[in-house]
């Protein structure tokens, strides 16, 4: 399983790099769908109603706090880092889709794949082999590193900060539901509904 996770992680930056006609989902979306489906088939689906409710409640609280903090952090960074606003505007252009429905659908697919891979299969497999601290470090380091495929230090920084929070949620709650819900709230709001640039 660890070898499979590593192979899927290695493929991620290549899928992320293949942005065609300013459509980040053209390759990353189908790749994310394949990753999610493969991991669901290989690992199966575990469902615990109480874990879902508890995880979702924590995820809503953390996702709302992360989202609010993102707007405040962006306002501070723009004042300190010259050119940040135009760089972020370019990132939004790459993630933009004329039709919000398909963009949201692909975003949900990619988020599920990221959670299943980095906070699910990779974290659990690495923890069983190397222990929790090393597993957390490996999960967070690889999640951040693959974002280099986007060509943006902002994306890598956001992945590191958000990935640390989502990994902490996963470890604390022992379920993917918390990190998945907070990931969804943050990404859908910040990337699609209310961009930090105010466009």
Q: Domain extents for the chain?
A: 2-193
User: pLDDT tens digit string along 92-122?
Assistant: 877 766 678 888 999 999 999 999 999 999 9
Distance, in Å, from the CA atom of 156 to the CA atom of 146, rounded to the nearest integer, reads 8
User: pLDDT tens digit string along 161-190?
Assistant: 999 999 999 999 999 999 999 999 999 999
pTM of the prediction?
0.93
CB 148 within 8 A of CB 156: yes
Region class of 48: left (phi > 0), else alpha (psi between -120 and 50), else beta:
beta
- The sign one gets for the Cα dihedral 53, 55, 58, 62 is negative
Listed in sequence order, the residues at least 6 apart from 37 whose beta carbon sits closer than 8 Å to its beta carbon are: none
């Amino acid at each position: 399983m660890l070898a499979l996770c590593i192979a899927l992680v290695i493929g991620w930056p290549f899928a992320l790099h293949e942005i065609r006609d300013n459509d980040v989902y053209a390759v990353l979306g189908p790749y994310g769908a394949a990753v999610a489906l493969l991991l669901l088939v290989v690992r199966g689906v575990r469902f615990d109603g109480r874990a879902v409710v508890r995880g979702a409640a924590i995820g809503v609280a953390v996702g709302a706090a992360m989202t609010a903090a993102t707007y405040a952090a962006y306002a501070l960074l723009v004042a300190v880092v010259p050119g940040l606003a135009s760089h972020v505007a370019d990132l939004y252009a790459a993630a933009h889709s004329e039709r919000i429905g398909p963009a949201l659908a692909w975003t949900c697919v990619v988020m599920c794949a990221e959670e299943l891979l980095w906070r699910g299969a990779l974290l659990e497999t690495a923890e069983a082999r190397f222990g929790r601290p090393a597993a957390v470090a490996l999960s967070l380091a690889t999640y951040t590193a693959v974002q280099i495929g986007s060509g943006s230090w902002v994306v890598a920084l956001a992945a590191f900060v958000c990935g640390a929070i989502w990994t902490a949620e996963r470890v604390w709650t022992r379920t993917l539901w918390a990190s998945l819900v907070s990931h969804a709230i943050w990404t859908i709001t910040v990337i699609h509904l209310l961009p930090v640039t105010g466009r």
